Amino acid sequence: MIEDLVGAGAWDGGAWLDRVEAAVREAVAEAVMPRFRQLAAHEVVEKAGPHDLVTVADREAEELLERSLTALLPGSVLVGEEGVHAEPGRLADVRGAAPVWIVDPVDGTSSFVRGEPDFGCLVALAHRGELLASWTYAPAQVLMATARRGGGARISGAELLRAGHPAGDQDLQVATSHPDYARTGARRVIDGLDVPGVSARPCGSAGLEYLRVATGELDAFVASWESPWDHAAGLLLVAEAGGVNGTVAGEPFRITGGNALPFVTARDADTLRHILGLLTPLAR
């Protein structure tokens, strides 16, 4: 239980969760939003190619979050996209004994660089591979979605999210790995969604695609990569909104890695079975 990790005094009837949300908002307000549509050319760097970007905002926001979040939970560690890029060995902390903050400081960096609002800050708290709480913040859209294991998913602090069921008279709306990122084999599998009854499109910010599944705007999200910072916050958000996930091996996705890919997150079990049924034969 998250209360046991935090301790009764610090938990303060759940006010601790509000302090985490405040830390997320403050880091984004200080490091990210002042640079939205204001980035200079030298503040954007390619990591592994033109579709894998990092900005000064990503790095500064992650540094701020590491300081604030580990202070809120002494003994915890942070695994973030930029920290792991600099020190790949830090990824192993997701499998460690310490509570871990899993962070993508700017999810959808390419959109952020282009001055488009489809980006967010993703934070999840996990312990021994179990997701406990998450925060999905889309500052340019003024949206904050939160989830607590066993406590539901909410948007704007109050409204409970319900993924619901897709409309039976419409195509399933599915976001998939962007072709610029998917490996050849995964792309071939995802092409299995090119069938009547499914309307598939490339994904944008992974975190915001999960939010769309949790709100019922999207029926499913198919991903061909494991990076925990892209998935952890959204997986808990969808689960607490009543959604489900599974890999082509018929197992739930594990944030600790070693998953069969691609995997699917869906609004309900029927949708999950249908999409996996299209993908699994091609993954063998």
* 133/207 same-domain check: no
Give the whole-angstrom CA distance, residue 158 versus residue 162: 13
How far, CA to CA in Å, does 112 sit from each of 121, 166, 176, 205, 241?
Answer: 11, 30, 20, 10, 27
Spans of the chain below 50 pLDDT? none
140: closest CA among 25, 31, 36?
36
Out of 111, 138, 160, a domain closes at: 160
* 124/203 same-domain check: no
* 141/202 same-domain check: no
Tens-place pLDDT, residues 200-248: 999 989 999 999 999 999 999 999 999 999 999 999 999 999 999 999 9
* 140/204 same-domain check: no
- Phi, psi angle pair for 131, to nearest 5°: -80, 135
154, 161 contact by CB (below 8 A): yes
- Specify the pTM: 0.94
268 marked ligand binding residue: no
| Domain of residue 115, CATH code | 3.30.540.10
DSSP letters spanning 166-221:
--TTSPEEEEE--TTTS-HHHHHHHGGG-STTEEEEE-S-HHHHHHHHHHTS-SEE
Give the helix/strand (H/E) hosting 266. strand 263-266
Q: Quote the domain boundaries for residue 271.
A: 172-283
107 marked ligand binding residue: yes
Question: What is the count of structural domains for the chain?
Answer: 2
* 155/184 same-domain check: no
3 marked ligand binding residue: no
Q: Pairing mode, if any, of strands 198-202 and 172-176? A: parallel
270 marked ligand binding residue: no
| Domain of residue 189, CATH code | 3.40.190.80
Residue 167: inside a domain, yes or no? no
pLDDT score at 22? 98
Peptide bond into 281 cis (omega under 30): no
pLDDT score at 105? 97
* 137/190 same-domain check: no
* 24/142 same-domain check: yes
